[in-house]
């Protein structure tokens, strides 16, 4: 949240990715919202919701 201009939000999966990304590393989409307000809102949403990512522990 300290440097939102260095990131953008994938419009397909909602991941926050580096500004230099051409495609989303999570879903391979190529449409992004680069607005500071969207990056900050998505960061706050992801920080406050329950984790949904699959981890290596989920496979054991």
Give tens-digit pLDDT for 43-58: 999 999 887 776 677 7
Average pLDDT over residues 13-27: 95
Q: Does the structure show a pLDDT above 80 at 1?
A: no
Q: Does the structure show a pLDDT above 70 at 4?
A: yes
Average pLDDT over residues 37-42: 97
Quote the pTM value. 0.81
Distance of CA 4 to CAs 19, 43, 49, 54, Å? 9, 9, 19, 25
Return the closest-CA partner of residue 17 out of 32, 3, 2.
Answer: 32
Distance of CA 11 to CAs 4, 51, 56, Å? 16, 19, 26
14 torsion bin: left (phi>0), alpha (psi -120 to 50), beta (else): left
């Amino acid at each position: 949240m300290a440097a939102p201009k260095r990131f953008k939000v994938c419009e397909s999966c909602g991941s926050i990715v580096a500004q230099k990304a051409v495609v989303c590393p999570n879903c391979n989409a190529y449409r992004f919202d680069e607005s500071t307000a969207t990056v900050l809102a998505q960061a706050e949403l992801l920080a406050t919701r329950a984790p949904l990512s699959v981890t290596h522990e989920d496979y054991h």
